[in-house]
Amino acid sequence: MHDDRDEKPAGAHRHRHPHGHGPAPLRVSGLTVRYSDGTAALRDVSIDIKAGEKVALIGANGAGKTSLFLSLVGILRPDAGTIIVGDVPVDKDHLLTVRRKIGLVFQNPDDQLFMPRIYDDIAFGPRNFGHTEAEVREKVEAVLEALGAAHLATRSSLKLSGGEKRVCAIASVLVMQPRLLLFDEPTAFLDMKAKARFMEILGGLGQTRIIATHDPALAAAVSDRVIVLEGGSVTDDGPAAEVLARQKFA
């Protein structure tokens, strides 16, 4: 697959690569995040993710997975450390650019879907980025088609099943064609069938991605690298099979 070594400097020929396998998708160094009540959610976390890597971020409840994702998209501000996405630092001056590059699928689809119709939920991003209504329609229809969810366009998220909501939340992120995808506990609350469908969708995605999960079986099935987070620190990081084996016998 395409990697970043033969990429031109920032900006050159970017249109040829809609998923933009440009400079290393993600560099996190020394990231420390505290909540206002003093809880240290992340302590000195350093992670580099290369173009095309399929990563699972595993860790118990409270390990810091969601805090890491919220930091990566600039919702949480770090107390120390730096985050660079592609060639852009995640800070308040670059939030718009950062959000074109990273797509976060929230743990709870209800945080992502808030319009009266699914169509408008998915159109929300493209409309915000100034596309014409005709371009928006084309993008929304294409992504729904690709995810096998065209029949949901006119429905309200309030009346969808958990699995259907998840697919629509994924569509609302994919429609922006981010180069880095973050999924926060994507299979929580999904039944077997919806989980299988989700894994099938993942199989069709070429983008660099990180999936936060506490399900080692999911991590093993869909990732080639596993990062372990414990109490806000990275305690292991490497090839999926090796890291998962260490986890089991630790």
Output 64 or 126, the one with its CB closest to ligand ADP: 64
* C-alpha to C-alpha distance for 143 and 140, rounded to whole angstroms: 5
Contact (CB, 8 A) for 180 and 152 = no
Closer residue to ligand ADP (CB): 59 or 163: 59
User: Which pair of structure tokens corresponds to residue 67?
Assistant: 């805090």
Smallest distance, ligand ADP to C-beta of residue 70, A = 8
From 16, 18, 41, 19, select the one nearest 31 (Cα to Cα): 41
Q: By CB under 6 A, name the one of 24, 26, 31, 63 that touches ligand ADP.
A: 63
Q: Are 25 and 178 in contact (CB under 8 A)?
A: no
Query: Rounded CA gap, 3 and 50, in Å?
Result: 8
Distance CA 157, CA 220 (A): 31
Sign of CA dihedral 54, 59, 60, 62: negative
| Least distance from ligand ADP to the Cβ atom of residue 78, Å | 13
Q: Please say which residue, 65 or 197, places its beta carbon nearer to Mg ion.
A: 65
Min separation Cβ 173 and Mg ion, Å: 17
Residue 35 interface partner, choices Mg ion, ligand ADP, none, CB cut-off 5-8 Å depending on type:
ligand ADP
41 in contact with ligand ADP (CB under 6 A) = yes
Two structure tokens written together for 184: 């926060």
Using CB under 6 A as the binding rule, whether residue 66 contacts ligand ADP is answered as yes
Tell me the C-alpha distance between 47 and 212, whole Å.
Answer: 14
When binding is defined by CB under 5 A, the residue of 66, 187, 207, 223 that contacts Mg ion is: 66
Q: Which one of 4-12, 62-70, 86-94, 125-133 is the stretch in contact with ligand ADP (CB under 6 A)?
A: 62-70
How far apart (Å, rounded) are the C-alpha atoms in residues 73 and 241? Answer: 29
Part of the chain binding ligand ADP (CB under 6 A), chosen from 56-64, 78-86, 118-126, 153-161: 56-64
Size of the residue set binding ligand ADP (CB under 6 A):
12
Binding site for Mg ion (CB under 5 A): 65-66
